[in-house]
Chains A and B, each alone.
Chain A
């Protein structure tokens, strides 16, 4: 039986995490290939609905990552994002959506190694959790 390969969607900011992931690649660091990157200018632009849409489209796990607080290319985008995620995460938890499948990080443009480590640990965790069947069942439910 082939091992379950999770589909993980990563929403990352262009200036820090995307560049950091680029560095991971140019440093020839091998890491889990399960992540599909979606590049946004800033974590402040990440609409919380994007995360739900990822689950909607079949993602088993989600990563959200951007610049460290204080280092945002647009000065305060990540501060806004932080507040938003604090509330959104408690909403997800309250509604029974699996927050073990949603991971947040600050990864700077210099942290190529951290990105690899982070993706590997998230992939491992999602592998253990298995496919997000509960959510997948809800897609298409309620239509006669």
Chain B
């Protein structure tokens, strides 16, 4: 996956829709698990599948992101046993599984790079790295979008190849235009080269949804810098926010985590789980002081971190415009709306 961020010549092939069954078979046969969007009740989540028949149909975006494949909601870092006065530390019991994520949207594919920018920033997180290296991304471009999508405003697009190892675009015949973006993508093709036939010289653009940019990133950045101390703005925007963690947990680019040690007299385990800067105790110090004791400060942090601090420090925008936070927010905190408000605010 790390090689994905290098520039490569993209090969174009055609993958017939009837070939998907065989492709899935070959992928499974190579010892990889396949995670793909599956419909359960009225949710669409990434589950392990064996055949394309299980895939959810006709949707704009999945309920949860696929970040759990590289950054699980609850993972063991190590375990330990008490032996008399000694502590014996043991490595993790299992190795991350080689995985193919099928059916990701281009926005989600781009999010892995954002996650990686944090996990390989000042310290290389070995667990994340090993999961990322074992993950291959086969994305499907977007023919539809809804009012919550804004990938084009944050440097993405419905047919962007950033972060994908293979990008599929469904064309008129129902077959897929397959763009083989990376070495890993070529590895998948090599499993069943007969399924990837020469592509017609079609322009994929006509199959992509037209999503105009909703705001200018540079202007947003400038406005954010000017409005850090504009307490009123942050209070107004966050009055209805309840401080739950839903937005951070469904976000493919949110990376904050909590450590939990669970032990008894015999030994224990150290777990890493998802955390959210929206929680009231996120920045509570042991002294009792909380630098972000008001929801408005936490809301400001969320926006600043994604759109000001991360671009500054990691050279990545901490948002891919997937819109999940807004779709799932219990109180309709529409991020796009809030961002546009900031961009259009008077100086």
Contact = CB atoms under 8 A, between A and B. Distances in A.
Interface of A: 57, 142-144
A110 B144 CA distance: 76
Contacts of A142: 74
A144 B130 CA distance: 13
Interface residues of B, number: 8
The majority secondary structure among interface residues of chain B is: strand
Contacts of B74: 142-144
B268 to A, nearest CB: 12
Interface in B206-261: none
Contacts, number: 12
Contacts of B94: 144
Contacts of B269: 143
B264 to A, nearest CB: 7
A89 to B, nearest CB: 26
Interface string B15-33: 0000000000000000000
B76 A144 contact: yes
Contacts of A57: 264
Nearest to B127: A144
A2 to B, nearest CB: 23
Given A143-B74, A143-B76, A144-B72, 9 more contacts: A57-B264, A142-B74, A143-B75, A143-B269, A143-B271, A144-B74, A144-B75, A144-B76, A144-B94
Contacts of A144: 72, 74-76, 94
A57 B269 CA distance: 14
12 contacts: A57-B264, A142-B74, A143-B74, A143-B75, A143-B76, A143-B269, A143-B271, A144-B72, A144-B74, A144-B75, A144-B76, A144-B94
Contacts of A143: 74-76, 269, 271
B191 to A, nearest CB: 26
A112 to B, nearest CB: 31
A104 to B, nearest CB: 26
Interface string B68-104: 0000101110000000000000000010000000000
B87 to A, nearest CB: 20
B249 to A, nearest CB: 15
Nearest to A144: B72
A122 B58 CA distance: 55
A59 B94 CA distance: 27
Nearest to B96: A144
A2 B314 CA distance: 61
Quick one: which of A57, A142, A143, A144 has the most chain B CB within 10 A? A144
A133 to B, nearest CB: 20
Nearest to B131: A144
A55 to B, nearest CB: 14
Nearest to A57: B264
A123 B271 CA distance: 36
Interface in B256-304: 264, 269, 271
B101 to A, nearest CB: 15
B133 to A, nearest CB: 16
A79 B74 CA distance: 40
Nearest to B69: A144
Interface in B174-217: none
A110 B18 CA distance: 78
A142 B74 CA distance: 7
A142 B75 CA distance: 8
A5 to B, nearest CB: 19
